[in-house]
Structure 1
Amino acid sequence: MMKQLVDKTERESVTVSEEVLPGDLMTGRQRAQLVLVLGALIAVGPLTIDMYLPALPAITTGLQTTETAVQLTLTGTLVGLALGQLLVGPLSDVLGRRLPLLAGLAVHVVASVLCVLAPSIAVLGALRVLQGLGVAAATVVATAVVRDLFSGAAFARIFSRLMLVMGLAPILAPTLGSGLLRWTEWRGVFAALAVLGALLIAVAAFRLPETLPVARRRRGGVGATLRDYRGLLNDRAFVGLVLVAGLAMAALFAYVSGSSFVLQKQYGLDEQQFGLAFGAGSVGLIGATQFNVRLLRRYTPQQILRGALIAGTVAGLLLVMFAATGIGGLGTLLASLWLVLAAAGLALPNAPALAMTRHSEAAGTAAALLGAVQFGVGALSAPLVGLLGTGSVPMAIVIAGGMAAALAVMLLVVPRAALGTVDAELAVALH
């Protein structure tokens, strides 16, 4: 049915000047199905990043390496995700969404299988880059598909719902990884990721039609792609919002990269307890993304974003204090982490929604740049935690720094007037 709607809209786009987006013709049930399919595609990224976290200490021992070297395998995945999105985004604007998506998922499957056989930390790190390159296709294409089907207000609403599906992945990933480690070694985690990638290829092939009509595809090859990127980079508000999203993601990935060592080594949690603690923290992230939909009925996205960044910065400073002094032990550390994650859960849907609504003419390229900055900045935060030392203090400093930097960019770089029209459109339509 969704394919028929897309085909109908493609025919109409040739004969009428004002295009009716396929999402406008969908029923509630069709939208729910779309959210599940796209959510599964988006979730493969967090699963690839987080599922092996409980195994980081075991990988350190098994491959006879250091904690910093193991954390660099996480950085490799994030670098692959960033670079992959810069490539896949423009390709999806030229070739359509399906072909780059299926090719990327195939690369992810191959890389996951090879990770099972990795003989050293260097090889594992290189393969994690390849994994990231493959999974980048799912991340950027899913975002571009939403923009193909929906305009600004509906985009924000669907994206917040996708955050619910995407938010389940960080909760389930360490728990699933911990469960697998009860029956197999760390290599079994990558075998499971290979199976997941193969299943998603089938889902994408049979449940996701092409959403970018030929008439709307970009022309001009490399030159057009460079012009698209130049146009995006010349938009100060877009660049600022992308940086805000990237710095908020950096705070999140500092937690992702450092939590397994802090909670297991410093506080003595076992792999299963770590999975539960990590999942509990992610509840704050998920709950905030869904509460965001209610907040949008009373406040503008820009107001919510600013408030979230202020709250996240304050919570980050509290986290640094508790980590440095040890006041309250593990309880206060987890509570302040929960508050930071909740603030990130409010910031992450609104910053992309405001940014993407400004550029419908090159949704794939805009989604690619957004995702590349998010994961690229996140890639920098992961090794930074390891370089600053072991323990909770380095992790807390990077988390707080990411939220504070995001707030500074929002206040100093993003012009408030430039977002006024988008704010009004999103807020009114979400009532």
Structure 2
Amino acid sequence: MQPLPRSRRIRARRAGALTAVAALTLAVSTSAGTGHLLPGDMTAAGPRPMSAAHSAALGPCMISGGLEVQMSEGVPTSTGYTRSTGTVRALTLMIDFSDAPGKGSARARFREFFPQTRKWFRTSSYGRLDYRPETPIRGWLRMPKPFRAYGIERGAPFDPGYRKLVEDIVAAADPEVDFRAYDLLNVLVTPNAGPSALDTVLSVTFAGNAEAPTADGVPVANASFVYSRQDDGSGSYARTGYRVLPHENGHVFGLPDLYTQEGGGAVGHWDIMSEDWGANNDLLGWHKWKLGWLDAHQVACASLPGTTEHLLTPLSRAGGPKLVFIPVDDSTGYALELRTRGGNDEAVCRPGVLVYRVDAEVDTGRGPITVHDSRRDSGGCTRSPNVHAELSDAAFTPGETFKDRRHGIRVEVTAADASGNLVVRVTRR
């Protein structure tokens, strides 16, 4: 099955290296408390500090990419993004246009995404992210120009159309909104602006650039725009349509797109940053570590020659060891985690150990993560429409082995216990 067409989301390079793409955020809270950054001070922004992760044992597994890499998978996530733990306040505005007036109430549009998005983040983060959507303007916020005047289409850069749209949003909302009180911006555009998501997806996030327009003295530097209704083509929007927003918000926390121009064939449905429709899916354990949702004692670094054994507990269950990483060099390695049905992984059809390669030198949307398929060309085990099904049965089960002969790495799933945990044996020369 072919995945739905997706927008070519354009991200800002670190330190504003992409001049054509500025990006967006409201007040970015500090990592350590409830205060807010001063204008121009982006050094404390970003996911939860990983102080415990900077131990000697985990150091070899903290791969990194160059400054030119867009939204690198390196650990820790670079600064400038919205922090991903504690209380995060999401300013959520519903906007419409004279040539695309809002149909129905703005509150109904809000309810298409909430409380589901808040619950999704609470479940995925094991309660470490208290995501609070707030709508100080409860009706449609009318833009001063028709939608077509902004020149927004699939893959549109920030300049000039989105910059003007952000400036107009700020001007229209400022009398009622103190932008300093929020950590990110969600713009829920009336669904009749632009084409249907079944034709092309306009939803986009601009993240991590302090050179964006300002509001109340703070840069609007992390913002997600959601347009037409999103589902898997089976009419499941009421149940699954909200997932486009956790995907987009993943970018404001610094996570890259995992789909490529060919679709979701690199990761499938094992991470919402790949495909966010159809079968429900969580974030990969690597992303949970980047976001500060896993502690150092839940991550094992298999960096030394020899053989080690590691217990893995289901990623959907709070507590216990969750991730084993096998570094190959300073920027790449293999991650191992146990995926079972539960939590945000309600649609897992073949539980087991997921093995995937992480490359911190690969840009967003170019395939920074690749899942290895334990059952190649099987067709997968999910039958959800318009979903990349081949990787749905990719996980390794007891008795199965993954090998990287080039780098002398062998991973064996050796045993399961009565609680559903699995043991993996890692051998490297």
Q: Tell me the TM-score normalised to structure 2 length.
A: 0.27
Greater share of residues in strand: 2
Structure with the larger RCO, 1 or 2 (CA within 8 Å, 6+ apart): 1
Q: Tell me the TM-score normalised to structure 1 length.
A: 0.27
